[in-house]
Structure 1
């Protein structure tokens, strides 16, 4: 497959997640809710998480934003639903490192669809868009651990 076709495939996957996001909505049983915004471009993510016994039992997001922020939130929710908070924290760290241009290829492979967002590194203004939901989850886990 040529690099051009691969780039088109990545773009299509991002657009598919943005137009048909997974786990979009609000959770009635959430015990952690975090809202973050990116004032630079107006992205808003509202994250609802049910965390019990150090496990992400359920997760959903709402809000508005660009294709990158919405796709990233969709990919993140797919990845972490059902995981332990320790595993989710590891994946958050991997994702953030990847977008800082310091990926550990072995760990990046564990990110599933979200690994394609590594291409955002080429567009520094879009990094905040891609990391917004991940930082919201990081805060939600931190709040849950305080309790």
Structure 2
């Protein structure tokens, strides 16, 4: 497959993830909830998690934003659902490094989320791609019954 066809395929996957997001909505019984704003793009994302016994039992996101932020949130929620917290936190670090550096030796551990590596070429869009992952990190590192609303990222 030529590079341009592969690039088109990646773009289509990103557009599809944004247009038909998985795990979009709210959790009634969330144990953690974080809302972040990306003032440079106008993205607003609320991430709800149900974490019990050290595992992400359920996850959902809501809000509005650009295609990249919505696709990233959808891909991230699919990636970390039913994962142990430690594995999800490791994925956050791998994703962040991948988006900033353009490569990471463990990028295959991210599943479909690794497709967002192309954002590396557009520094102004890095915050869009990492917004949901930053919310996940904050939710998982601040303990139970976390309810941080309307933070800027």
Fold shared by both chains (TM-score > 0.5): yes
Deviations 1:81-119 (A, max 9, x none): 0000000000000000011116323x1001111101110
Aligned match of 2:38: 38
Which structure 2 segments of 5+ residues have no match? 147-153
Matched, 1:111 2:110: yes
Aligned match of 2:149: none
Task: Give the 3 Å change call, closer, same or farther, for CA 3–70 of structure 1 in structure 2.
Answer: same
Describe the SS at the equivalent of 2:101.
Answer: coil
Q: Aligned partners of 1:50 and 1:8: how far apart in 2?
A: 35
Root-mean-square deviation (CA, aligned residues, Å) is 1.4
Aligned match of 2:131: 132
Describe the SS at the equivalent of 2:143.
Answer: helix
Matched, 1:121 2:120: yes
Aligned residues: 146
| Higher share in helix | 1
Aligned match of 1:11: 11
Q: Aligned partners of 2:111 and 2:15: how far apart in 1?
A: 16
Aligned match of 1:99: 99
Describe the SS at the equivalent of 2:142.
Answer: helix
Q: Is the 8 A contact 2:120 2:126 kept in 1?
A: yes
Task: Give the 3 Å change call, closer, same or farther, for CA 141–57 of structure 1 in structure 2.
Answer: same
Aligned match of 2:23: 23
Q: Is the 8 A contact 2:89 2:137 kept in 1?
A: yes
Task: Give the 3 Å change call, closer, same or farther, for CA 94–31 of structure 1 in structure 2.
Answer: same
Q: Is the 8 A contact 2:102 2:117 kept in 1?
A: no
Describe the SS at the equivalent of 1:74.
Answer: helix
Which structure 1 segments of 5+ residues have no match? none
User: How is 1:62-81 mapped onto 2 (pairs within 5 angstroms)?
Assistant: 62-81=62-81
Q: Is the 8 A contact 2:31 2:144 kept in 1?
A: no
| Higher share in strand | 2
Q: Aligned partners of 2:76 and 2:143: how far apart in 1?
A: 18
Describe the SS at the equivalent of 2:36.
Answer: strand
Instruction: Spell out structure 1 runs of 4+ moving beyond 3 A.
Output: none
